[in-house]
Structure 1
Amino acid sequence: MASPAKVIPFSEPPWLAGLPSPYFNESHRKWQKVCREFIGKNLHENALQWEDEGEVPPEVFQKFTEANMLIPNLPAPLPVEALNRLGIYELPGGLRLEDFDYLHFYVYVNEIRRAGLAGPPNSVIAGMAYGVPPILKYGSKELQDRFLPDLMRGGKRICIAITEPGAGSDVANIQTTAKKSPCGKYYIVNGSKKWITNGVWSQYASMAVRTGGPGRTGLSLLVVPLLGHEGVSMRRLKNSGAATSGTTFIELDDVKVPVENLIGEEGQGMKMIMTNFNHERLNIAIGVTRSARVALSSAFEYVMKREAFGKALIEQPVVRHRLAKAGAELESLSAWVEQFVYMMTKLKKEDADRELGGLTALAKAKAGMVLDECVRTAVLLFGGNGYTRSGQGEVVEKLYREIPGARIPGGSEDVLLDLSIRELVKHFRAQSAALDKPSKL
């Protein structure tokens, strides 16, 4: 593949900068071009303006839905049979559903975060990425038939609702209750959920609730109606970054939910939540790596032209030193994420959850650290422009406010660092026990 005429250092992963890759084939390259054209036209052209205004127009979501451009947010391999029943047989560019793998997913997430910001993409994709998968993976056919047609065609929206004011990364401490009514036909849901992305626009939530006693074994997942439903009140929250994500506080007061809305079985919620977290954390790691590229390459381009003390900033050794340190972190992370995604294409989902669960947590945590390094480097090199909400440093200033949004959601950093090692130890001990077990002759 011939090298493009001009690629700003660190702006693209090596396989898009003209260098060879063992992972990406012609299908992935064709898909990348399709994604860049569609997402660039329908999202990125106005992303900065929308983030300033705090709202992405509703028609953007509809455009993505009508083009089947929300489907790539689902875990690979795609649920071909379920999608076929809805009349969906391929993705834009003629990509067959059967051919979609985690490298196609990687390409999609890379492109949707190419403007750097998390808010505008999250306003469109979060429900499909995190709210729909539990229904697809664990929901009964009856549950899928009731909800998926509207959700897949954009008639209704959904969110994932796990976090509460007193239970974030500590999922086992969730307090929202779902108790069966005397007639046995409903769950009566009481509690609150906080920092719920897209909640304010969603008719439904895949919600973690307590149907049993304390701890992880008392948790279940339930499709809870939101917008316009009796007993539900929602208000939008303002965060330091990602203004367009629709972050929501949800209060639930004796909300009646049909028992048929249970996802899977009672008491199995923790397992479903953790499996869903693996997909979310990988999504975050890929997207945050792209945002780090946007920050560092913007700074690189700036110091090539910005002059101080009679010469371009790039001629200053201290500037090159800062770029080198951040760049090494970025390219190391990028190579790890690509390798990680490749392994996902070769493992069955249940094997990947077991083998890679701890490493997924570690990758997500590391991505947040690298974003921090790259964005801080960019802000310092932009100087006053990096501290100003408009002008040449506008993107890196916005990204600076989004650093906590990369290091906290999906499991806060310190919790994930600890979780990663605990999972690796558990897996190692299980392997050791299996090897030490006497073989039967």
Structure 2
Amino acid sequence: MAAPIPFSDPAWLMGLPSAYYTHSHRKFQKAIRPFIQRHLIDCAIEWDKDETIPEYVFENFAKANMLVPVLPAPLPVHWLKRLGIHELLGGLKVEDFDYMHSLIYADEMARAGIAGPSASLTTGMAFGVPPIVKFGNKKLQERFLPDLLTGKKRCCIAITEPDAGSDVANITTTAVRSPCGKYFIVNGTKKWITNGIWADYSSMAVRTGPPGSGAAGLSLLVVPLKGYPGVTMRRLKVGGQVSAGTTFIELDDVKVPVENLLGVEGMGMRYIMTNFNHERLSIAVGVTRQARVALSAAFEYVMKREAFGKPLIDQPVVRHRLAKAGALLESQWAWVEQFAYQMTQMPKDDADRELGGMTGLLKAQAGIIFRECADTAVLLFGGNGYTRSGQGELVEMIYREVPGARIPGGSEDVLLDLAVRQLIKLYQVKTKALETIAKI
């Protein structure tokens, strides 16, 4: 029996001590890994090549309540218990779920190394359902949450447009009240919408304010999609995450009941930014695991691959590449762990305020380190790492997923700038508060 490959798992799963993980966290990890391995990881590469995950895989996850952990902590306990969901795998009570459990789940789901298979199952639930939980009124929740939380229906988040990605405030999809006042008439397009092709509903950003109203004119609306009059959807061919169902959506005079408005009209930008925090943390965790898969695969390969009469691992330049990438990887994971732990210790409003900008930085840094680890793997695999079959096929697939980690959820350069601007804003607010106190 061989020892684990270096970098193949986080330190706490390699037997090293950690102050972050309780008995509950360790028990949860041991329970979900075999399930995810059997129902997803074992066939992930094959399914990604086919570009679609079989429908029964989603059904298996839904029946086992294994889509629930993708929701932000704390879970919607009241709703889950109403629906008969009291525990998750490993006997974890839904009221005990925290962001360390969330981190463990996201890390385990990404162990295939490629994001498409897991994203095809979880992205809609992870980012489309939370706005309904957080901002929907009681009647709206009664209409949608029972089917969405149990996986009977599927949802997605639809923000991005052909001409408005990270520039959310300038989306152009309009929602105009009908003369009778009973409907919003929605017109526009959404692009790069993960899971859209399978979604029954979408938590969609729309412009309810006049042209030029910017962020103040945005609202969130639950828009029916699959088979709904006026909605046309088609899948997009993308470089990576090919099985995740990336979708182009056209909306032509789509009649949406006014009761489908999420929260208060004109507050959409605020709701969207709050939702981004969970999205960016989830992406950062999964991307860091993808980097780990790439680097550990390279490590394993160079220990057995011979060149110039000896294993590649005997070459100082090879060890140097592994060392540099490994240092970046483990420092990123330490930051991810710290971040998730902080989320367990802070009230949500405080976390949104204090960690919002840094969540963007965490996500951006994850993409930067993923690129370094993927580069390292491809270079060390050589020609095999550039071939879509054989020993290096997984590394080649991972390499194509790097842009998909650096662009969605806020592109890298935008997030780097956002983080600093948020830090400046926090500093100024706190300084002003201290000055006010000093004058009293």
Residues 208-248 of structure 1: CA deviation (Å, up to 9, x unaligned): 00001320000000000001111000000000111100000
Take 1:249 and 1:81, find their aligned partners in 2: how far apart are those partners? Answer: 35
Q: Is 1:26 the counterpart of 2:23 in the alignment?
A: yes
Residue number among 134, 151, 155 corresponding to 2:148 in the alignment: 151
Q: Map 1:41-52 to 2 at 5 A.
A: 41-52=38-49
**Partner of 1:430 in structure 2?**
429
Take 2:131 and 2:151, find their aligned partners in 1: how far apart are those partners? Answer: 18
**Partner of 1:359 in structure 2?**
358
**Partner of 2:244 in structure 1?**
245
Q: CA deviation at 1:5?
A: 6.1
**Partner of 1:392 in structure 2?**
391
Q: Map 1:107-256 to 2 at 5 A.
A: 107-213=104-210, 214-256=213-255
Take 2:402 and 2:270, find their aligned partners in 1: how far apart are those partners? Answer: 29
TM-score (normalised: structure 2): 0.98
Which amino acid in the other structure matches residue 94 of structure 2?
Answer: L
Q: CA deviation at 1:84?
A: 1.3
Q: CA deviation at 1:440?
A: 7.9
Q: CA deviation at 1:88?
A: 1.3
Take 1:430 and 1:7, find their aligned partners in 2: how far apart are those partners? Answer: 48
Residues 272-294 of structure 1: CA deviation (Å, up to 9, x unaligned): 00000000000000000000000
Cα-Cα RMSD? 1.0
Take 2:221 and 2:74, find their aligned partners in 1: how far apart are those partners? Answer: 24
SS of residue matched to 1:245: coil
Q: Give percent identity, aligned residues only.
A: 68
**Partner of 2:306 in structure 1?**
307
**Partner of 1:420 in structure 2?**
419
Q: CA deviation at 1:416?
A: 0.2
Take 2:346 and 2:2, find their aligned partners in 1: how far apart are those partners? Answer: 37
Larger mean CA deviation between 85-94 and 381-390 belongs to: 85-94
SS of residue matched to 2:163: coil
Q: Is 1:17 the counterpart of 2:14 in the alignment?
A: yes
Which amino acid in the other structure matches residue 380 of structure 1?
Answer: L
Q: CA deviation at 1:153?
A: 1.8
Which amino acid in the other structure matches residue 251 of structure 1?
Answer: E
**Partner of 1:383 in structure 2?**
382
**Partner of 1:267 in structure 2?**
266
Take 1:278 and 1:430, find their aligned partners in 2: how far apart are those partners? Answer: 20
Take 1:325 and 1:390, find their aligned partners in 2: how far apart are those partners? Answer: 27
Which amino acid in the other structure matches residue 337 of structure 1?
Answer: V
SS of residue matched to 1:222: strand
Which amino acid in the other structure matches residue 231 of structure 1?
Answer: G
**Partner of 1:348 in structure 2?**
347
Take 1:407 and 1:174, find their aligned partners in 2: how far apart are those partners? Answer: 21
Q: CA deviation at 1:105?
A: 0.3
Residues 336-358 of structure 1: CA deviation (Å, up to 9, x unaligned): 11001100000011100000011
Take 1:88 and 1:30, find their aligned partners in 2: how far apart are those partners? Answer: 19
Q: CA deviation at 1:154?
A: 1.8
Which amino acid in the other structure matches residue 168 of structure 2?
Answer: V
SS of residue matched to 1:416: helix
Take 1:268 and 1:86, find their aligned partners in 2: how far apart are those partners? Answer: 30
Q: CA deviation at 1:435?
A: 0.4
Q: CA deviation at 1:87?
A: 1.6
Take 2:35 and 2:349, find their aligned partners in 1: how far apart are those partners? Answer: 33
Take 1:245 and 1:382, find their aligned partners in 2: how far apart are those partners? Answer: 27
Residue number among 71, 77, 88 corresponding to 1:80 in the alignment: 77
Take 2:256 and 2:178, find their aligned partners in 1: how far apart are those partners? Answer: 10
Take 1:336 and 1:153, find their aligned partners in 2: how far apart are those partners? Answer: 33
Take 2:238 and 2:133, find their aligned partners in 1: how far apart are those partners? Answer: 31
Residues 72-102 of structure 1: CA deviation (Å, up to 9, x unaligned): 0111011111211222111112100111000
Where in structure 1 do 4 or more consecutive aligned residues deviate above 6 Å?
none
Take 1:156 and 1:25, find their aligned partners in 2: how far apart are those partners? Answer: 34
Take 2:307 and 2:87, find their aligned partners in 1: how far apart are those partners? Answer: 53
Take 1:63 and 1:142, find their aligned partners in 2: how far apart are those partners? Answer: 29
Take 1:428 and 1:438, find their aligned partners in 2: how far apart are those partners? Answer: 15
Residues 88-144 of structure 1: CA deviation (Å, up to 9, x unaligned): 111112100111000000000000001111000000001110000000011111111
Residues 387-417 of structure 1: CA deviation (Å, up to 9, x unaligned): 0111111111001100000000000000000
Q: CA deviation at 1:438?
A: 3.6
Which amino acid in the other structure matches residue 215 of structure 1?
Answer: G
SS of residue matched to 2:401: helix
Aligned length: 438
**Partner of 2:275 in structure 1?**
276
Q: CA deviation at 1:155?
A: 1.6
Q: Is 1:101 the counterpart of 2:91 in the alignment?
A: no
TM-score (normalised: structure 1): 0.98
Take 1:80 and 1:404, find their aligned partners in 2: how far apart are those partners? Answer: 36
Take 1:160 and 1:282, find their aligned partners in 2: how far apart are those partners? Answer: 16
Take 1:49 and 1:424, find their aligned partners in 2: how far apart are those partners? Answer: 44
**Partner of 2:322 in structure 1?**
323
Take 1:344 and 1:195, find their aligned partners in 2: how far apart are those partners? Answer: 29
